[in-house]
């Protein structure tokens, strides 16, 4: 369980997040939705340790992760797939994956890599190719695969739909939600595309101008027409 | 024709040494995005260390080993003490700071070892090899220099492509943020880049010493050639650094042979200028390699 308590982040005078609290239980997908500039990416980058919070905290199974370095947070079991298909184009598929869990033993790494190849078979077929030869959808799979190589207990997915065809997004997200169910992974999914996100999520959190304005079952949020008009723009 | 071949032969081993210096420059550029103008200063300093060890022990090999260790330590010191704090504020400041380090090292070497030019005897013969009744401008020492360069290039290539440390260093250079998110201790990888570059530079210094002799300024011209080779090679390509390092050595040898050796630096700078005008990313460089 990832628990975020009263988290605030400021960029100079700008308050990007104020008093955000939420929890991400294992085995399901929790979706954070909201318009551009709502603070979704800031939330993810703060949880991963790339941004220091002004106040508040986050913890994984009771162990505080805020205030630590990104390289330590991933070792503690929280892995971020940042926005924009974060693979390293100059490295091969296999190298990108290997990078994701270098501190682990070879045996553990090979087992994780096998799991990733089962989840995303195309990566197994392309493992010797450079990442920049992959299509957008394949690179997103690689980025998620890299994060899974750390054997995380909590996976942070930042805007995975960006620039991808809707069908591919649905496929990838359904794989991720099945993975969450099967392996007890806690997934925090940030999306501008609320419809897709709420379809795979159990719980939804609506963020607006850095504040949580609504949270509850994904079902309830999806059917709340007022909320949709006010914050989600459809 | 024989003259031409002789000039080419004469350029190979100086090209190998230029290649090593260019490699050191590329290693640091790749990891830190800083052009280290102090590289030859560091190499000069560690060559003085080698000279001291050699005077004490009489062994060329011991001296080389100690120089390599000193090169690694000096690289680490320069990185931690000068580059890291300055770079936090501004990258171009860090590049200027490397000039400061160069001048400081030259002054320090002058204070410790004096300003006189000192010789550095090669471990094997520096006389041309006789073959088919002719003496060719290629000595046993040249063979050693080329062999050491090849060994280093192969070793570095294996390090970068076959080991986890190499993978971490490449990832840290290409995309530090993704590397950190993957658990890589990026600042350590960057420091290691400076250590390895310092070691490679130290080898280059010891190898060039029998040809250039040793004084606080005797490696300065090597900076011009190595920088030219590194930039033409694309600054982030190890293959480019080696190819154009040797290429620069050959060109210099031809220019010196057919005209006068004092023209060599001018030719190098003309090549550099042409390269920057015609192919600013370098021959082996990636298009966006300098946009980061």
Distant-in-sequence contacts of B2-5, Cβ < 8 A, 24+ apart: B2/B134, B3/B257, B4/B254
Nearest to B65 by CA among B206, B215, B216, B211: B206
Q: What is the pLDDT of residue B18?
A: 95
Structure confidence at residue A234 as a pLDDT band (50, 70, 90): low
Q: What is the distance between the alpha carbons of residues B135 and B31, in angstroms, rounded to a whole number?
A: 44
In the three-class reduction of DSSP (H, G, I as helix; E, B as strand; rest coil), residue A151 is classed as coil
Mean of all residue pLDDT scores within chain B: 90
Q: Tell me which of A51, A71, A82 to substitute to probe the interface with B (most B C-beta atoms closer than 10 Å).
A: A71
For residue A71, list chain B residues with Cβ-Cβ distance below 8 A: 180-181, 183-186
Of how many residues is chain B composed?
292
The answer to whether A69 faces chain B, any CB pair under 8 Å, is yes
Nearest to B182 among A69, A90, A99 (CB): A99
Q: What is the pLDDT of residue A162?
A: 86
CB-based contact B197:A131 (threshold 8 Å)? no
Q: What is the distance between the alpha carbons of residues B78 and A225, in angstroms, rounded to a whole number?
A: 61
Nearest to A102 among B164, B174, B175 (CB): B164
Sheet holding A203-208, edge to edge: A78-81, A154-158, A186-191, A29-33, A203-208, A211-217
Q: What is the pLDDT of residue B287?
A: 52
CB-based contact A212:A22 (threshold 8 Å)? yes
Please answer yes or no on whether B167 and A102 come within 8 Å at the CB atom.
yes
For residue B185, list chain A residues with Cβ-Cβ distance below 8 A: 71
Lookup result for tokens 């200028």: B273
For residue B186, list chain A residues with Cβ-Cβ distance below 8 A: 71
For residue B178, list chain A residues with Cβ-Cβ distance below 8 A: 82, 86-88, 146
pLDDT tens-digit readout, B186-227: 999 999 999 999 999 999 999 999 999 999 999 999 999 999
CB-based contact B222:B208 (threshold 8 Å)? yes
For residue A89, list chain B residues with Cβ-Cβ distance below 8 A: 174
Q: What is the distance between the alpha carbons of residues B168 and B186, in angstroms, rounded to a whole number?
A: 8
Task: Tell me the nearest-neighbour CA distance from B93 into chain A, angstroms.
Answer: 25
Whole-model pTM?
A: 0.86
Q: What is the distance between the alpha carbons of residues B11 and B254, in angstroms, rounded to a whole number?
A: 8
Q: Give the mean pLDDT of A176-186.
A: 94
Q: What is the distance between the alpha carbons of residues B120 and B218, in angstroms, rounded to a whole number?
A: 12
Nearest to B167 among A74, A79, A99 (CB): A99
Please report, for residues B3, B269, B271, the alpha-carbon distance to residue B275 in angstroms, rounded to integers and kept in the order given: 28, 10, 6
Half-sphere exposure of A49 (CA within 13 A, CB side): 24
For residue B170, list chain A residues with Cβ-Cβ distance below 8 A: 88, 90-91
Please answer yes or no on whether A75 and B183 come within 8 Å at the CB atom.
yes
Q: What is the ipTM, given to two decimal places?
A: 0.93
Structure confidence at residue B292 as a pLDDT band (50, 70, 90): very low
Residue ranges of chain B whose CB lies within 8 Å of a chain A CB: 164, 167-168, 170-171, 174-175, 177-186, 286
- Inform me whether the pLDDT recorded for A195 exceeds 90: no
pLDDT tens-digit readout, B122-141: 999 888 888 888 888 889 99
Please answer yes or no on whether A99 and B181 come within 8 Å at the CB atom.
no
Structure confidence at residue B288 as a pLDDT band (50, 70, 90): very low
pLDDT tens-digit readout, B251-264: 999 998 898 888 88
Please answer yes or no on whether B174 and A48 come within 8 Å at the CB atom.
no
Q: What is the distance between the alpha carbons of residues B259 and B263, in angstroms, rounded to a whole number?
A: 7
């Amino acid at each position: 369980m990832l628990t975020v308590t009263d988290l605030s982040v400021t960029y100079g005078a700008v308050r990007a997040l104020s008093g955000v609290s939420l929890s991400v239980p294992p085995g399901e997908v929790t979706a954070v939705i909201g318009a551009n500039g709502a603070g979704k990416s800031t939330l993810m980058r703060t949880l991963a340790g790339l941004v220091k919070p002004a106040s508040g905290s986050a913890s994984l199974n009771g162990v505080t992760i805020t205030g630590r370095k990104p390289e330590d947070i991933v070792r503690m079991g929280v892995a971020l797939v940042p926005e924009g298909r974060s693979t390293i184009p100059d490295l091969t598929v296999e190298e990108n994956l290997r990078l994701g869990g270098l501190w682990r033993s070879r045996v553990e790494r090979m087992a994780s890599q096998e799991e990733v190849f089962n989840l995303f078979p195309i990566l197994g077929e392309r493992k010797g190719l450079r990442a920049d030869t992959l299509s957008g959808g394949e690179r997103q799979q690689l980025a998620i695969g890299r994060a899974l190589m750390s054997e995380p207990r909590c996976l942070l997915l930042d805007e995975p739909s960006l620039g991808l065809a809707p069908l591919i997004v649905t496929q990838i997200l359904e794989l991720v939600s099945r993975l969450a169910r099967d392996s007890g992974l806690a997934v925090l999914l940030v999306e501008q595309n609320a419809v897709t996100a709420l379809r795979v999520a159990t719980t939804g959190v609506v963020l607006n101008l850095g504040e949580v304005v609504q949270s509850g079952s994904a079902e309830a949020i999806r059917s709340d027409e007022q909320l949709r008009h006010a914050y989600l723009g459809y | 024709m024989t003259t031409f071949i002789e000039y080419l032969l004469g350029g190979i081993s100086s090209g190998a040494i230029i290649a090593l210096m260019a490699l050191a420059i590329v290693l640091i550029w790749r990891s830190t995005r800083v052009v280290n103008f102090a590289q030859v200063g560091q190499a000069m300093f560690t060559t003085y260390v080698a000279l001291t060890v050699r005077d004490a022990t009489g062994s060329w090999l011991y001296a080389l080993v100690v120089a390599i260790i000193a090169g690694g330590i000096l690289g680490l010191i320069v990185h931690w003490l000068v580059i890291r704090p300055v770079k936090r504020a501004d990258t171009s400041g860090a590049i200027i700071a490397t000039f400061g380090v160069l001048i400081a090292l030259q002054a320090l070497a002058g204070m410790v070892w004096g300003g006189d030019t000192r010789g550095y005897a090669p471990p094997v013969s520096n006389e041309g090899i006789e073959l088919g009744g002719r003496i060719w401008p290629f000595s046993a020492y040249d063979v050693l220099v080329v062999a050491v360069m090849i060994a280093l290039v192969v070793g570095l290539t294996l390090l970068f492509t076959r080991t986890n440390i190499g993978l971490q260093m490449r990832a840290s250079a290409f995309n530090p943020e993704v590397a950190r998110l993957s658990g890589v201790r990026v600042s350590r990888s960057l420091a290691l880049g400076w250590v390895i570059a310092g070691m490679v530079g130290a080898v280059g210094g010891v190898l060039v010493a029998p040809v250039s002799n040793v004084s606080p300024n005797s490696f300065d011209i090597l900076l011009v050639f190595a920088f030219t080779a590194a930039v033409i090679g694309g600054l982030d390509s190890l293959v480019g650094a080696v190819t154009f390092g040797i290429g620069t050595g050959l060109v210099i040898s031809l220019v010196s042979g057919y005209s006068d050796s004092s023209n060599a630096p001018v030719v190098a700078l003309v090549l550099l200028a042409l390269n920057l005008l015609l192919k600013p990313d370098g021959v082996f460089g990636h298009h966006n390699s300098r946009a980061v």
